[in-house]
Chain A
């Protein structure tokens, strides 16, 4: 009886030890496989489905008061695009800047900063939530993306809006930042092409001359230094095919969680 029991104990001790070691080493090995992270992402797919199910398509992000604003709005991602083209634009206070809007639209346009400022605008004090975990609150003013899209008239097969940016993500000046959103977000009242931050022109560190604000999603969705907008049916053929720079590195396209 006692022998059986001590043998059982030995077995349990070893089993527990082995399980612990295997579990920790196993987690790392699993992380390196192709299939496991894919299987794990089921969790985020479920979160996205539930988040959409419990909110309306036009649910509004919280807006704050002047007093809630952060003393300074910190820069995230690129602080200054390192290209000659961008430096030339910036040197002339973006007087030569043109925002190209094309793709699946009836009337492609090219807008100057002054023309963008003439579009219907919205001012909002919102919270910027970075995927890293920090938040900052600031006041944004910009052209309503919905107003711009109504001008260019999307074709019936257009489903996504892609934003191409001026900041290269590699030191050799390649791999430009880009992002994409669906039409629910594109026509959302709080989705704007911001040109003012805290009542002054958008600084270079925060995405001058234009940064996207898509308030229901995390910071990496808010493309800075937007140069070109393209309406597409699918982003499968663009860059890594996942719809954005960080998405191509493994982050979720739906950045609402």
Chain B
């Protein structure tokens, strides 16, 4: 959110310059990087579709999550997902699904969710590590830029009024009510907290847990990964944090859609956001 430009008020309001060019570019780099990271990550997960808690996978305790194909003899195969001891038939999606060529395959996530779409671990790792660097460098630039331009303090840090409107904001969100007019220029408190949580908690966590899986990086200070429960716990946290990012994106896109898809999309492409005045709203 930047400054108001001196546009002449249009019939339904006026145009407001909401996102600066660097923020727009970094936003779309994130879209690409997070998409590739999720899908190549699922491809890597498919090489061993199970998650554990602890220093190793084989501690005597069963996996927290496991996807596998079960051979039922004459009844054919089925895909099974076991989560915290509960078993679900997930044939067609998890554990057993059709490949792009129509053949059934024993695999964790289905082909359409992974990059590459076949089970090619070395290439999935190449995709993943390249875009991990892109996300990291983009993120560092973003934080530096936001701090330098005060975007971080001016637009993202909640102020006293935000905290006071916390309850009101929750109710507004649940009723799908969105501010109009001047109030639409500012992020609401839940929005600010969601962005801050992603920028300063989830993304750093997912990167750190990725690093924790590297045996070489474990030697920086032997045992540091045990602070997170051990290497296999780090892998599980990495997986959960990735899905929390997906949850954020789902809610983010949902909010964008219900509060003016085209207006928001345009503002993230050209920077220009239309402020509608109360009288014309409806």
Q: Does B110 sit at the interface, judged by CB under 8 A?
A: no
Interface residue ranges, A against B (CB under 8 Å): 5, 8-9, 12, 23-24, 27-28, 31, 37, 39-44, 46-47, 51, 54-55, 59-64, 68, 70-74, 127, 129-137, 215-218, 246, 249-252, 256-257
Q: Size of chain B's interface in residues, with CB distance under 8 A? A: 50
Q: Does B127 sit at the interface, judged by CB under 8 A?
A: yes
Decide: A55 near B222, CB < 8 A? Known: A31-B120, A40-B130, A127-B56: no
Q: Does B218 sit at the interface, judged by CB under 8 A?
A: yes
Cβ–Cβ contact A9 & B58, under 8 A:
no
Cβ–Cβ contact B222 & A27, under 8 A:
no
Cβ–Cβ contact A55 & B216, under 8 A:
yes
- State in angstroms the CA–CA spacing of A257 and B218 once bound together: 10
B133's partner among A43, A249, A256 (CB-CB below 8 A) is A43
Residues of A within 8 A of B225 (CB): 62
B220's partner among A39, A40, A59, A73 (CB-CB below 8 A) is A59
Residues of A within 8 A of B231 (CB): 127, 129, 135
Cβ–Cβ contact A71 & B55, under 8 A:
no
- State in angstroms the CA–CA spacing of A129 and B213 once bound together: 9
14 A/B residue pairs, CB under 8 Å, sorted by A: A23-B32, A31-B115, A31-B127, A44-B130, A61-B222, A63-B222, A70-B58, A129-B231, A133-B48, A134-B58, A135-B56, A135-B232, A216-B215, A257-B214
- Please give the distance in Å from B206's CB to the nearest CB on chain A: 16
Cβ–Cβ contact A47 & B129, under 8 A:
yes
Q: Does B235 sit at the interface, judged by CB under 8 A?
A: yes
Cβ–Cβ contact B48 & A134, under 8 A:
yes
Cβ–Cβ contact B219 & A37, under 8 A:
no
A44's partner among B48, B56, B129, B232 (CB-CB below 8 A) is B129
Q: Does B45 sit at the interface, judged by CB under 8 A?
A: yes
Residues of A within 8 A of B125 (CB): 44, 131, 251-252
Interface residue ranges, B against A (CB under 8 Å): 32, 35-36, 39, 44-45, 47-48, 50, 52, 55-60, 112, 115-117, 120-123, 125-127, 129-133, 213-220, 222-223, 225-226, 231-232, 235, 262, 265-266
Decide: A137 near B215, CB < 8 A? Known: A9-B262, A28-B117, A54-B220: no
Residues of A within 8 A of B32 (CB): 23
Chain B residue at minimum C-beta to C-beta distance from A56 = B219
- State in angstroms the CA–CA spacing of A79 and B39 once bound together: 32
A137's partner among B48, B52, B56, B216 (CB-CB below 8 A) is B56
The 7 lowest CB-CB distance pairs between A and B, nearest first, are A256-B216, A43-B130, A70-B58, A59-B219, A133-B48, A250-B122, A43-B129
Among A44, A63, A73, A74: residue with most chain B CB under 10 A: A44
- State in angstroms the CA–CA spacing of A8 and B272 once bound together: 14
Residues of A within 8 A of B215 (CB): 61, 127, 129, 215-218, 256
Cβ–Cβ contact B223 & A62, under 8 A:
yes
Cβ–Cβ contact A130 & B262, under 8 A:
no
- State in angstroms the CA–CA spacing of A42 and B133 once bound together: 10
- State in angstroms the CA–CA spacing of A217 and B226 once bound together: 18
- Please give the distance in Å from A109's CB to the nearest CB on chain B: 30
- State in angstroms the CA–CA spacing of A23 and B58 once bound together: 38
Residues of A within 8 A of B126 (CB): 37, 40-41, 43-44, 250
Cβ–Cβ contact B56 & A136, under 8 A:
yes
- State in angstroms the CA–CA spacing of A246 and B122 once bound together: 9
Cβ–Cβ contact A134 & B57, under 8 A:
yes
Residues of B within 8 A of A43 (CB): 126, 129-133
Chain A residue at minimum C-beta to C-beta distance from B262 = A9
Residues of A within 8 A of B56 (CB): 68, 70, 127, 135-137
Residues of A within 8 A of B55 (CB): 64, 68, 127, 135, 137
- Please give the distance in Å from B191's CB to the nearest CB on chain A: 23
Chain A residue at minimum C-beta to C-beta distance from B55 = A68
Cβ–Cβ contact B218 & A251, under 8 A:
no
Residues of B within 8 A of A70 (CB): 56-59
Cβ–Cβ contact A71 & B58, under 8 A:
yes
A135's partner among B57, B131, B219 (CB-CB below 8 A) is B57
- Please give the distance in Å from A189's CB to the nearest CB on chain B: 12
Cβ–Cβ contact B116 & A27, under 8 A:
yes
Residues of A within 8 A of B121 (CB): 131-132, 251
Residues of B within 8 A of A135 (CB): 55-58, 231-232
